[in-house]
Chain A
């Protein structure tokens, strides 16, 4: 805790908070009646979810024929959406695990909500492989278990099976990590509540007391979980990319896929975190905890990963040309200038060109720019998966089997249904759980609270922040080089 902090670092907690004020601010959204925006949002989300459930049931009843897939194009909306959702599910664990290992204190403002998004996004993602098998009641065939057919086992050489293990491990580990972090905060709500709410939070806070030994174990657990979740999060999208990269389809079987997919996943994940955090901080009045500084940090990650993705696209094009392999060359020429040229340009525009505006500090710190950019990025990343999957399949080796794919109403309904699932879960989450990690925010208050960052004394409870301007990159220049915790 007595870490040396650069004096030019901006505070991460505004408004001269005390420990108690932090508790009040973050717990109060779970204690009040929901605001009107929440109710309206919930109605929309549940409506989308309900239609999605209907579409899934229809698909199960009718079969995969409810989709516009054909013999040439066997993967369409389903796998596009699967990869898109898995990608979105990468930001949470990146923020909470990798940034924990890098000791990035700004993660404390956004990690809780981002991890929640991870879990909900992975639920949405997992839905697609399950329903696209067609006979959903046979889904347990995915798992290697001693069966009465021999035993006849699954194929451990198959990247599709690796994916089953990767996604289920990722979901489980993210859930454990997230929930364990929530336990002390649930205890905080429990000790403020009465009646039924107290009973409820008492049940879900697992008997947490805040004893010194428990905190010590808790920190040890968090650190080791972060350590193993870091390679895990990188492995998940690597393995998702193997679904394509180990195949024989031109445009898919490229060795660049793992790093390219991982960067894209972080890119779209952060974009989704931005979209939701901008709305959340406003409606729940958490601007003091999710500051413009947090938003700028995330925009920097978006800029970096967006640029990596852009370089990957260009590398693919270059290598296709350089390989002198006609099928590969055709696949990429066809992507840019073929029947799906519009998807390619949506992808290029949203993913490669648009994030470049974040080189400007002013735009990085603008809420409106950030909001629209985050939506653009998610549209772009959806098109990226569509381009990779559909354009590569639509023009395969045999011109006689070339085909065109567009989604049926059912596929669109299932996709919007997953958006409904995601937002419904998120809206329930903000009503039940503290959106910002209370204990973690308290633990950085004395190194990152504005009254401590801008005071001369280091004990400046009574020194308000007099000269703070949100757009000012430099804090005080009074020579204070460290603020120590005690």
Chain B
């Protein structure tokens, strides 16, 4: 998360069932949820928040394909064009011999590519400072955050009553 002057109102719930109910209600009242933070992946949350399916696997497929082509075409170029050698009577273009390395590089490229993409799109990396709202979010609290930089009192009251209704154990604001 980059540093902006954003005022966030957040509530912490003790259980994911409370969180899911609160998110459901907030969505049905068209409240503008800034983000939801949980200590572990809560299933069903992404549907409630209308998060579109991650396309990371598509990126992974493309990286894998790049790996396949790099390995296969690379070895082909080396053995057929750059320096043809007959090894043990095999043809210059011994396709079965290329299978293991082609497979390994497919996996290698897909894995490295996806992991780098994951950290990049999440804005994460070595030494990136986390702007966490509360220290217990990575422990046992489930957090809903609303951006209240430019909201009316009426909206803020609605947020507060939502937190109260679903039993938030802590409600606070923070500048992030």
Contacts and interface: CB of A to CB of B under 8 A. Distances in A.
Contacts of A151: 82-83
Contacts of A202: 127, 129-130
Interface string A205-219: 111111111111111
A392 to B, nearest CB: 21
Contacts of A152: 83
B39 A19 contact: yes
A224 B57 contact: yes
Nearest to B135: A191
B56 A443 contact: no
A212 B51 contact: yes
Grouping DSSP codes into helix (H, G, I), strand (E, B) and loop, the A interface class, with mixed when no group exceeds half, is helix
Interface stretch (A228-236, A288-296, A383-391): A228-236
B56 A20 contact: no
A184 B122 contact: no
Given A155-B87, A203-B127, A486-B20, A221 B41 contact: no
Given A23-B140, A169-B104, A169-B107, A206 B128 contact: yes
Contact of B100 (A165, A191, A208, A212): A165
Contacts of A172: 108, 111-112
A232 B128 CA distance: 31
B22 interface: no
A181 B38 CA distance: 15
A424 B94 CA distance: 44
A460 to B, nearest CB: 13
A190 interface: yes
A161 B94 CA distance: 15
B124 interface: yes
A209 B131 contact: yes
Contacts, number: 203
Nearest to B17: A486
Nearest to B99: A162
B9 interface: no
B112 A157 contact: no
Interface in B30-49: 35-46, 49
Interface size class of B (residues with CB under 8 A): 35 or more
Given A151-B83, A210-B38, A203 B97 contact: no
A231 B130 contact: no
B54 interface: yes
A19 B44 contact: no
A225 B138 contact: no
Contacts of A128: none
Contacts of B135: 191-192
Interface in B71-89: 74-75, 78-79, 82-83, 85, 87-88
Contacts of B39: 19, 23, 188, 210, 439, 442
Contacts of A407: none
A213 B118 CA distance: 11
Contacts of A231: 103, 107
B12 to A, nearest CB: 12
B126 to A, nearest CB: 6
A150 B82 CA distance: 9
B138 A184 contact: yes
Given A156-B75, A190-B138, A486-B44, 15 more contacts: A1-B42, A159-B100, A162-B101, A172-B111, A173-B111, A191-B135, A210-B37, A214-B122, A218-B118, A220-B56, A224-B60, A224-B110, A228-B64, A439-B41, A485-B43
